[in-house]
Every structure is written in C-alpha cells, then in structure tokens.
Amino acid sequence: MVIEKPSISRPRVKKTFTDFLRVTFKGILDPIAGFLNRIGLTPNSVTLLGVAGNIIAAYFIIRGQITIGGIVMLVAWPIDALDGSMARLRGEASDWGAFVDSVSDRYSELIILGALLFHFAMTNQHIAEVVTFAAAAGSILVSYVKARAEAQSFSAKEGLLTRAERYLVLGPSLFFNIPVLGVWVIAILANFTALQRIWFVRAQAHANAKKITAKE
C-alpha cells in the first residue's frame, strides 16, 4: 500500500526588493559580469573580493573613519552583487556557489557590525553597543529563519528588511557619520522581519495541517 504524501502548501510569494534590484540593474551588471568572466575571474573569487572590500571598510570604521568606511562598503556591495550574474552567464550556477555567496554575505554583514561594536566600545557608547548586538542578531535571524524554513519545505522569502534594505540603511548611515541611527533601524526592523517570516511559516504550517486533516 502506497501512502500519498500531502503536498506542501506554499502561498504566493511577492517579489522582494532584492528581486527588484536584480531586474532593474540587470542591464548594468550583466556587461560587467561578462567582462569579469572573460578576464578569467570566477564567481566565487568575486564573492571573496566583496568580503575583502567589507574587511577594508571595517578597518576604517575601527579607526573611527566612519565616512570612509561607508564609502568603501557602498563600493564593495555592487561587487558582491556580480557573482550571481557571472554564474548565470557562464551557465555554471550551482548549489555550492549559492552556499558560498550566502555564507559570505553573512560574514560581510557581521564584519561591518563587529567593527561598529568595537568603535562604540572604544568611544564609550554603551547603549549603541547593545543595539549593535541586537542588529547583528536580527540580521542573522532573518537569514536563519529563511534557511530553516526552506529546509522544512516552507517559503520565507518576504520581509520588511532583507539584506538589500539593511545595506541601504547601514551604508548611508556610515557615509553621513550617523552609525547609531543605522544600527537602531536595523536592530528594530531586522528583528521584526525575522518575526514576520516566523509568522509566515506558521501560516503555511497551519494550512498544511488543515489540508492533511481534510484528506483523512
């Protein structure tokens, strides 16, 4: 006797801001990605260049040169966005490449927030230290909830403050030397986004449970 496994119910997922950016800047990113492919760079090497750029940005932040750190971070971000375009043009998109990209994104974000935490500690901004920790925790949880949900065959792509939005908050806040404002926004909205995704997964789980009950 074969027991039919109920299909997972996934609600329709809206396009995210990251999806919008990919489509909007495709005409710019693809030619650059094609050039990088032609000179022999690989998508993973460009991913690591993005991480290196954020390490340099963190160096300036630690030195208290917040605006310069923000400029370097804003320059490194488009570099990091090229790896996916390169892999697609090469026809070599792989699970390994996606994994490396995802992990490097988390490292890049934590490197910047870690540098800010050090800066706030050295300048005796203790409340800002706690808020920066909350921002880092929220940022990681947004990604973790998505990854864990997808491992359970759910979808958790939506949310108010995904990685693209977090960069667009943090980068300008560094550039204008108002990093405390940036970490406050991320601390509040990133954790809110994680809760959004948890609620979104809960709705899917309940829908699946009702579907199973109806079949029995």
- Give me the active site residues, please: 105
Kindly report the CA angle at 20 between 87 and 28, in degrees rounded to 5? 55
Task: Report yes or no: 46 and 77 within 8 Å, Cβ to Cβ.
Answer: no
Cα–Cα nearest to 184, from 199, 166, 202, 201: 166
CA–CA gap between residue 216 and residue 214 (Å, rounded):
6
Q: Which tokens belong to 94? A: 């792989």
Nearest to 186 by CA among 146, 139, 127: 139
Furthest C-alpha separation in the chain: 69
Instruction: Give the Cα separation of 176 and 46 in Å (integer).
Output: 28
